[in-house]
């Protein structure tokens, strides 16, 4: 049986977990807020600390709100449904402010947080699959563990994807080896959806017939995956259209992508982020923009549609292929040029001349070549999009050392009710 403790919570960390102590031991408590006394179950012990989940709140905080989802807090898909939404935004902004302060960066302007719908926003997810007592479970992993949550719906997923959870359980239960299906990935566009079914054993003919029937009944594309992403294949040999799509009507654009491509999971917030990034360039038509870590062209194409000449670089060959396809699809090939380039490699000290830089790197940040880019490109303005306040702040320090001023910065709540957040910063060289 898990150990039960009663503790007074004194802090709230950036992951939305309350902080407390039991003797000399630190405890992180999901579903706990500062000022509360709670009863909690210790679910895991890790590196000298306990990870626990509050199940009874003796003294609720004024910031506590009733969770909209009946699976909270056990489901690990969300971490902050119990916290007032204004406090969620403040917590994320405080994390960014602290990271910038620790790196000695003082922005000229801190913009108001940008946010959108709090539920039914997520268009992509990787869900665990597990068979327990003959029952197939499909859902997010539980808090502080690897167990799969028992779910029949999800308020974070878009409604069409949420409605697939029960049928997916039924499909997997019909397969010859349901215990050998470890995960399923969901991906949705504006009008279509797809799933990728990971399988550890070869599928039988009966399995493939069941999958084909599921695909037809629910109007969803199904892919199978026996290994890495290079093994993803359409479940049906007759499937001819591999692409999903999403529109950005602000720029009159339509993007094609596969379920394996990286795309932002919150399409309405992505529109706001792209709009702000393009406005942040604030250039004359015809000037040259270098879009580093460009992906499938999420920023490149709106920039091109705004009249700029854009060069997009990215390490992923499939993403670059998709970016070029999207440029042709939207009639922007003459204003866009894309190339595969490992931007972390020492050979990429000079990615080319540009008036402006757009950076949208992975969580690890822009990488070791950033100081060289600031010298060799000749860019006078940098728009930096980040999914990690910590790496953004470290790179902001490098930009400041190169003479750039952080004119404005702010958070975009791409992932409501979770600890994740996007940051947009605009840097200007003052000469």
Please report the beta strands in 2-88, taking only residues with DSSP state E, as ranges in sequence order: 4-8, 11-12, 18-22, 25-30, 37-46, 49-57
Structure tokens at 259: 């379920």
Predicted confidence at residue 85, as pLDDT, reads 97
Contact, 300 vs 323, CB < 8 A?
A: yes
Q: What is the mean pLDDT of residues 354-372?
A: 96
What is residue 48's three-state secondary structure?
Answer: coil
Is 81 part of any domain?
A: no
Let me know whether 315 and 419 are in one domain: yes
Tokens of 184: 């399923």
Kindly state whether residues 224 and 307 are assigned to the same domain: no
Q: Is the pLDDT of residue 279 over 90?
A: yes
Whether residue 105 contacts residue 406, with contact meaning beta carbons closer than 8 Å, is answered with yes
Q: Which conformational region is residue 197 in: left (phi greater than 0), alpha (psi within -120 to 50 degrees), or beta? A: beta
Average pLDDT over residues 151-155: 96
In percent, the amount of the chain with pLDDT more than 70 equals: 98
* In the predicted structure, residue 1 carries a pLDDT above the cut 60: no
Residue 350 within a domain:
yes
First to last CA, the chain: 65
64, 80, 107: which is the final residue of a domain?
64
pLDDT above 90 for 2: no
Q: Is residue 395 domain-resident?
A: yes
Check residues 145 and 220 and name the one with the higher pLDDT: 220
**pLDDT average, residue stretch 51-55:** 94
pLDDT band at 239 (very low <50, low <70, confident <90, very high): low
pLDDT of the residue at 237? 66
Whether residues 50 and 98 share a domain: the answer is no
Mean pLDDT, the chain, rounded, equals: 95
- The answer on 158 and 132 residing in a single domain is yes
Mean pLDDT score, 92-118: 97
155 and 198 inside one domain: yes
pLDDT at 240: 61
Distance of CA 290 to the CA centre of its chain: 23
For residues 179 and 400, give the distance between their C-alpha atoms in angstroms, rounded to a whole number.
53
Q: Where does a domain end: 209, 244, 279?
A: 244
CATH number of the domain enclosing 280? 3.40.50.150
Question: Based on the structure, what is the number of domains in the chain?
Answer: 3
Q: What is the pLDDT, as a whole number, of residue 429?
A: 92
Residue 214's CATH number: 2.40.50.1070
Report if residue 106 sits inside a domain: yes
Q: What pLDDT was estimated at residue 47?
A: 82
Exposed e or buried b per residue across 192-230, where buried means at least 16 C-beta atoms within 10 angstroms of its C-beta: bbbbbbbbeeebeeebbebbbebbeebebbbbbbeeeee
Residues 27 and 8 in one domain: yes
pLDDT recorded at residue 143: 84
* Cα–Cα distance measured from residue 321 to residue 307, given in angstroms and rounded to the nearest whole number: 22
Q: Tell me what pLDDT residue 55 has.
A: 94
Residue 78 lies inside a defined structural domain of this protein:
no
Q: How confident is the model at residue 238 (pLDDT cuts 50, 70, 90)?
A: low
Examine the pLDDT at 236 and tell me if it is beyond 80.
no
User: Could you identify the residue written with the tokens 């591999």?
Assistant: 242
The answer to whether residues 105 and 174 belong to one domain is no
Q: Using the structure block, give the residue that is written with the tokens 């909270």.
A: 72
d(CA 258, CA 105): 39
Same domain, 358 and 336: yes
What is the Cα–Cα distance from 122 to 182, expressed in whole angstroms?
A: 21
Where residue 20 sits, what CATH number does that domain have?
A: 2.40.50.140
160-178 per-position pLDDT tens digit: 999 999 999 999 999 999 9
On whether both 44 and 180 belong to a single domain, the answer is no
What percentage of the chain has pLDDT greater than the value 90? 91
Does the annotation mark 387 as catalytic? yes
Identify the pLDDT of residue 15. Answer: 85
Domain holding 371, by residue range, is 89-117+266-428
**Confidence label for 211 from pLDDT (cuts 50, 70 and 90):** very high
**Tens digit of pLDDT for each residue in 294-331?**
999 999 999 999 999 999 999 999 999 999 999 999 99
3-state secondary structure (DSSP) of residue 385: strand
Q: What is the mean pLDDT of residues 145-167?
A: 95
Report the distance separating Cα 318 and Cα 340, nearest Å: 9
Task: Determine, yes or no, domain membership for 107.
Answer: yes
Q: Which residues pair with 293 in a beta bridge?
A: none
Per-residue pLDDT for 244 more than 70?
yes
Residues 21-32: b if buried by 16+ CB within 10 A, e if exposed: eeeeeebbbbbb
- Are 273 and 396 found together in one domain? yes
Q: Distance between CA atoms of 204 and 213, rounded to whole angstroms? A: 14
- Assess contact for 299 and 358: CB atoms under 8 A: yes
What are 160's two structure tokens? 């069409």
Q: Does residue 26 lie within any of the structural domains?
A: yes
Identify the H or E element spanning 205: helix 205-218
pTM of the model as a whole: 0.94
356 in the same domain as 219: no
Three-state DSSP class for 282? coil
Query: What's the pLDDT score for residue 282?
Result: 87
From the list 69, 78, 348, 387, the catalytic residue is 387
Q: What is the pLDDT of residue 144?
A: 85
Residue 153 has pLDDT above 70, yes or no: yes
In a domain, 329, yes or no: yes
Same domain, 322 and 191: no
């Amino acid at each position: 049986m898990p150990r039960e403790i009663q503790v007074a919570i004194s802090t709230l960390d950036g992951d939305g977990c309350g902080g407390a102590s039991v003797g000399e031991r630190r405890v992180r408590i999901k579903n706990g807020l500062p000022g509360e006394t709670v009863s909690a179950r210790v679910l895991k012990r890790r590196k000298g600390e306990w990870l626990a989940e509050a199940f009874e709140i003796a003294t609720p905080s004024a910031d506590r709100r009733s969770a909209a989802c009946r699976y909270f807090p056990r489901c690990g898909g969300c971490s902050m449904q119990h916290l007032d939404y204004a406090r969620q935004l403040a917590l994320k902004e405080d994390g960014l402010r602290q990271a910038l302060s620790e790196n000695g960066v003082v922005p000229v302007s801190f913009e108001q947080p940008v946010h959108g719908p709090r539920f039914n926003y997520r268009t992509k997810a990787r869900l665990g699959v597990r068979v327990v007592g003959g029952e197939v479970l499909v859902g997010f992993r539980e808090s502080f563990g690897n167990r799969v949550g028992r779910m029949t719906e999800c308020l974070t997923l878009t409604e069409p994807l949420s409605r697939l959870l029960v049928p997916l359980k039924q499909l997997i239960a019909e397969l010859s080896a349901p215990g050998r299906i470890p995960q399923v990935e969901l991906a949705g566009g504006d009008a279509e959806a797809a799933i990728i079914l990971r399988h550890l054993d070869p599928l039988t003919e009966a399995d493939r017939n069941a999958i084909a029937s599921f695909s037809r009944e629910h109007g969803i594309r199904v892919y199978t995956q026996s290994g890495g992403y290079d093994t993803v294949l359409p479940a049906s040999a007759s499937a001819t259209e591999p692409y999903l799509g999403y529109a950005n009507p602000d720029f009159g654009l339509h993007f094609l992508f596969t379920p394996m491509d990286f795309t932002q999971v919150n399409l309405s917030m992505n529109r706001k982020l792209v709009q702000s990034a393009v406005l942040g360039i604030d250039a004359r038509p015809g000037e040259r923009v270098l879009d580093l870590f460009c992906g499938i062209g999420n920023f490149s194409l709106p920039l091109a549609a705004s009249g700029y000449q854009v060069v997009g670089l990215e390490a992923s060959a499939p993403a670059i292929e998709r970016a070029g396809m999207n440029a042709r699809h939207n009639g922007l090939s003459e204003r866009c040029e894309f190339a595969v380039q490992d931007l972390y490699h020492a050979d990429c000290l000079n990615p080319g001349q540009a008036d402006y830089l757009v950076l949208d790197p992975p969580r690890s940040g822009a990488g070791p070549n950033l100081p060289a880019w600031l010298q060799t490109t000749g860019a006078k303005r940098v728009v930096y999009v980040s999914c990690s306040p910590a790496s953004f702040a470290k790179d902001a320090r490098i930009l400041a050392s190169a003479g750039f001023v952080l004119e404005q910065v702010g958070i975009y709540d791409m992932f409501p009710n979770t600890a994740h957040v996007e940051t947009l910063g605009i840097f200007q060289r003052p000469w």
